[in-house]
Structure 1
Amino acid sequence: MNEAGTLGVRAGQSGVETVTLDDGAAMAVRVSGSGDPLLLVHGWAAHGGFFEGLADALSDSFSIIVPDLRGHGATGRGEGPLTMARLADDLHALLRVLDLRNAVAVGWSMGAMVLWSMIGRHGADRLAGLVTIDMSPRILNDADWTLGMQTGLDRAASAQIETAMRTGWPAYAAAFAPRMFARPENGQLPDILPWAVDQMAGNDADAMAELWGAMADTDCRDTLAGIRIPALVTYGALSQAYSPETSRHLAAAMPDARLKGFARSGHAPHLEEPDAFARAITDFAREVQTAPAQPEFTRGVRHD
């Protein structure tokens, strides 16, 4: 990673900044609000717009920074392979370019894995706290690890999934998106589902398959014990992705972590129980952002 002075940020329209990363890739970043910073990191095959409601709810109290990760949304894939390490380095660069300090980072699904990877590679000196949303430190299962995906996903099944993504991505996205939400008892699907399917189907098939493989190759279990900032582990009690036991394991594995479940949610409690989730984030951030006051984040300004 080059020094921050070789990177830059350019103001855009409608609160969108363009941050130039070390390989020249342009990262789209939505910014809003004022106050201590919240960094919201989306999951696989999503983009920052999946946090729009949460950002609106919290922007009166916090500066909200929402990137589109490499290969998602308005951010291109750039050069080289797509790996969790690459995405982690991008987030670290973003923190430096915007000079974010005393930030609470919120990672949904793959976004949590990217944040764990970032902390493992670069430390957590710019973070006051970490929030994870329904994720496992290792998505694959084997004889010694059964807290990956609830489907029992193993290496062979993951390889088959990658093939299905490359050969029929729109159909795969349409089948995957409903599994982000709690299975409806009355058969009524969430109102947001058609929008989610449309947004996910617009991704590049090869990029999504490559990133899925990168997740499958990543194991963050050894990183957890070294994460010594306060953490809030959140999950949906009705998740079709991971069991509540996975989140209980996470909360026990990190030295300063607590657990928060959402009884009516699946894999996306920030979308399924938005008011309760926003209150939980607000309470946690106000508690942990107690360091001496830092200069307020200013949109469109680079601090070298």
Structure 2
Amino acid sequence: MGEARTIVVDGVRQVYRVAGEGPVCLVHSGGPGVHPEYLRMPGLERVLTLVYLDPVGAGDSDLLPDGDYSMSRYARFAEAVLDDIGAPAAYFLGHSHGGFVALQFGLDHSDRLDGLILYDTAPMNGPDMREVANKEMTSFVQRWPDRPEATEAGRTWDAVNVSRTLEVADDESFGRYLNGILPAYFADYRKTAEQPGSDLSLRVTYDPNRLPALWDVRDQLGAIKVPTLVIVGTYDFICPPRFAHELHAGIPDAQLSELPESGHFGHIEQPDEFAAIVSDFVNNQEMGKKA
């Protein structure tokens, strides 16, 4: 992802890496607490200068001493990175939880945006989203009745989120949990895992001081005034297409692209198609600036 660069914001280290060439695009990974290397997108680095953030509380960035990981707080750190690289504005690609941050950035700092790329995300984080995920996990297990890893993913999800018989309390247990349910994040986990050089494991950081961060901007989507691309995988269980359609309907200048052979990781499952969708969106915006 390029050499690590570090800035300090309010006494907290924010690490980021720059790779590629072309218009600047902030890249905010999911989680929270998931390390960002899974979101490396070499196909896009040929057309964009990607500024990969290590979100605070993950990767090489610091934890927040007060545990206040609000979306506006994340957005403030992203703005500080833009300041550090001297970019007056940029595109913002946010994946999953990073998409929450991108949406909040669009509300808080619209003057710093050339466009939003909302990738497998939703306009809220809370009980409504969890209820949908419970149903989608059940559908995933039913779709692969003969696969032990699918059954185990369902059991692990239930133990943490439904029956609450399993506690996530540190880096190790958080990593076991996320990697245990990881097969549910793919349209076909085995097919993706068999690709040459594939490493589908996730590294994580657990911050016991992290405060609950309920968040809902469904009633504010109309206030987002920048060109927006919404991307979703047909088989995404955690941020299924219904949320993408809600974003598309609510944001005035939004377009929607669905990846039919992907789950939550279209940049891995359909990398060429994903890169082409994003590249076309950015090219259209850049041509519009010149017109």
In the superposition, the TM-score normalised over structure 2's length comes to 0.79
Give, in angstroms, the shift of residue 93 of structure 1.
1.4
Secondary structure in 1 matching 2:193? coil
Tell me the C-alpha RMSD between the 2 structures.
2.9
Matches within 5 A, 1:13-32: 15-32=2-19
- Per-residue deviation at 1:291? 6.8
In the alignment, which residue of structure 1 is the partner of 2:178? Answer: 173
* TM-score in terms of structure 1 length: 0.76
Give the Cα–Cα distance (whole angstroms) in 1 for the partners of residues 162 and 81 of structure 2.
32
The answer to whether the 8 A contact 2:92-2:115 is kept is: yes
* Pairwise CA distance, 1:169: 2.1
Aligned positions of 1:168-247 closer than 5 A: 168-184=173-189, 188=191, 190-191=193-194, 195-197=199-201, 199-200=202-203, 202-204=204-206, 206=208, 210=210, 213-214=212-213, 217-247=214-244
Go from structure 1 to structure 2 and tell me whether the alpha carbon gap of 1:60 and 1:243 turns closer, same or farther (over 3 Å shift): closer
Alignment of 1:128 onto 2:114: yes
Q: Distance in 2 between matches of 1:95 and 1:112?
A: 17
Q: Which residue of 2 aligns with 1:49?
A: 37
Q: 1:284 aligns with which of 273, 277, 281?
A: 281
Alignment map for 1:18-167 (pairs within 5 Å)? 18-44=5-31, 45-52=33-40, 54=41, 56-81=42-67, 82-120=69-107, 122-142=108-128, 149-151=132-134, 164-166=167-169
The structural deviation recorded for 1:258 is 0.8
> Compared with structure 1, are the counterparts of its residues 223 and 98 closer, same or farther at alpha carbon in structure 2 (3 Å cutoff)?
farther
CA contact (8 A) 2:96 2:239 kept: no
Structure 1, unaligned runs of 5 or more: 1-13, 294-304
Distance of 2:34 and 2:188 partners within structure 1: 20
Cα distance, 1:18 vs. partner?
A: 2.4
User: How many residue pairs get matched?
Assistant: 262
3-state SS, counterpart of residue 204 of structure 1: coil
Kept after mapping to 2: 8 A contact 1:113/1:220: no
CA separation of 1:183/1:128 partners in 2, compared to 1, >3 Å: closer, same or farther?
A: same
Q: CA deviation at 1:160?
A: 7.4
Residue identity matched to 1:242: C
Q: Which residue is equivalent to 1:297?
A: none
Consecutive unaligned residues in structure 2, runs of 5 or more = 137-159
| Matched position secondary structure for 1:166 | coil
Q: Which range moves more in the overlay, 82-91 or 64-73?
A: 82-91
Q: Which residue matches 2:148?
A: none
Work out whether residues 37 and 101 of structure 1, in 8 Å CA contact, stay in contact via their aligned partners in 2.
Answer: no
Separation of aligned partners in 1, 2:88 and 2:118: 19
Q: 3-state DSSP class of the match of 1:178?
A: helix
Q: Which amino acid aligns with 2:134?
A: T
Q: Following the alignment from structure 1 to structure 2, what is the Cα–Cα distance between the partners of residues 189 and 287? A: 31
The equivalent of 1:263 in structure 2 is 260
Residue identity opposite 1:68 in structure 2? D
